[in-house]
Structure 1
Amino acid sequence: MDVIPLSALQHFLYCPRQCALIHLEQLWAESRETAEGRILHERADLPGAGTRKGVRVATAMALSHEAFGLIGKADVVEFHSQADGGECPFPVEYKRGRPKAHQADEVQLCAQALCLEDMYGKPVPRGALFYGQTRRRKDVVFDRGLRELTLKVLQGTRAMLESRQTPSAIYEAKKCDSCSLVDLCMPQCISRQRSVQRWLMNAVE
């Protein structure tokens, strides 16, 4: 079974075509937004371990889940002390901007929790998303609904990647205009071509 990067789940839920362009066709383009995100990640991208306010912290921690075929890394994993003397992993993912209406960020974080549960053999009930624009954390509870959505997205991502087929472009201004791959994807052009093809097919029927 081929492994799937954790980031692919976030890309797939946001836009399956974006996911395919990045993970199948190996395309990438930098934008102001992606540059800001890269800068935000620079500190967390340095592997290391330490203690912060009495909490053990690991940065750029490698993650994997053998059964699910997932691999990647967590920006930050805090290890919170428990009453029984053990520690509970608490993943923290850094994102630019602010919280979004869709759940792509939450799914990526939940997938990290699934990996941590597999690696440490204990439940990981919560984590957090840190947004650069608000400079605040958003707590995320890994409830049944989010876990089911994450597994559904994983199945969809795997099916698409195994098909080796890049989905057709569907132009959505709110998503497409803010995507760094918009010039490579050309959603408006491709969508117009498909509309013309449908019109011609209907005209000759």
Structure 2
Amino acid sequence: MNYTEDDILPLSGLQHLAFCERQCALIHIEQAWAENLYTAEGRILHERVHDSDQISRGDVRVEYATPLRSLRLGLIGKADVVEFHRIEDSDGDRWRPFPVEYKRGRPKKADVDRIQLCAQAICLEEMLDVDVPSGALFYGKTRHRQNVALDAHLRSETERNAARFHALVKAGVTPKAQYRKQCDTCSMKNLCLPKTVERRRSVDRYLMHAAREP
């Protein structure tokens, strides 16, 4: 099943969803946003990359801020960098896309960044009718580029998260706050107030329990 143009959502929302459903809802349902040092550093890094000029180096052509769209995932966005690698075969030269996503921090254990990269690859496959078997993540803190195999498991996770994202936005309901350690680095914590909501919930539970006692 493909989505329609009216269903299209920002590709960046996949990372918001994978990080926290409440954060995703605050941004994409309630249209709220707040910036902190981490998001500012990330924004500046992306702006620097997007302002670069197209370059060619032998068998590699590099394009920046490449527009992306997929009706299969119902997503639209931009790739920081797409390298086009020359491939020689019986039909002559072809150029295989290789997306590179820039991140300000360090590699993560979770698939948050890899899912976003995989969504970019699926967009490129749909737009250009080519296979995109791999890509890379570049982390600003380590200055290290990490190659990523876009295998069947990662593609399945990406499609599942895209479907969850659409379902969340369609429902239009922001999940309740639940404090976790990652909340401390979230730019939305002063809007979300996870600790305040958790304390209020604990008080409500205590009062309900006390009311039941004889």
Give TM-score, length-normalised by structure 1.
0.94
Corresponding residue number in structure 2 for 1:83: 88
5+ unaligned residues in a row in structure 2: which ranges? Answer: none
Deviation at 1:122, TM superposition (A): 1.3
Aligned equivalents of 2:202 and 2:141: distance in 1?
Answer: 38
Give yes or no for the alignment of 1:168 onto 2:176: yes
The corresponding residue for 1:179 is: 186
SS in 1 for 2:170: helix
Shift of residue 6 of structure 1? 0.8
Matches within 5 A, 1:12-31: 12-31=17-36
Partner SS, residue 180 of structure 1: coil
CA positional deviation for 1:201 = 2.8
Residue equivalent to 2:13: 8
Q: State how 1:179-198 maps to structure 2 within 5 Å.
A: 179-198=186-205
1:53-92 to structure 2, matched below 5 A, reads 54-84=59-89, 85-92=93-100
**Percent identity for Structure 1 against Structure 2:** 53
Larger radius of gyration: 2
Aligned mate of 1:37, from 32, 39, 42? 42
Deviates more, 1:122-131 or 1:43-52: 43-52
Q: Which amino acid aligns with 2:154?
A: L
TM-score (norm 2): 0.90
CA RMSD of aligned residues (A): 1.4
Output one character per residue of 1:98-120: Cα deviation in whole Å (capped at 9) or x when no partner.
Answer: 10121111100000000001011
Amino acid at match of 1:11: H
Gaps of 5+ in 1: none
Deviation track 1:70-95 (CA, whole Å, cap 9, x = no partner) reads 10010000001112210110000000
Cα distance in 2 for residues equivalent to 1:67 and 1:171: 34
Give the equivalent residue in structure 2 for 1:115. Answer: 123
* 1:54 Cα offset (Å): 4.2
TM superposition shift of 1:29: 1.4
Partner-residue secondary structure (3-state), 2:127: helix
- Find the residue that maps to 1:74 and give its secondary structure: strand
CA distance, structure 2, for counterparts of residue 152 and residue 192 of structure 1: 33
CA deviations 1:149-170 (Å, max 9, x no partner) are 1111111111101011111111
Q: Deviations over 1:158-183 (max 9, x none)?
A: 1101011111111002x100111111
After TM superposition, the runs of 4+ consecutive aligned structure 1 residues lying more than 6 A away are none
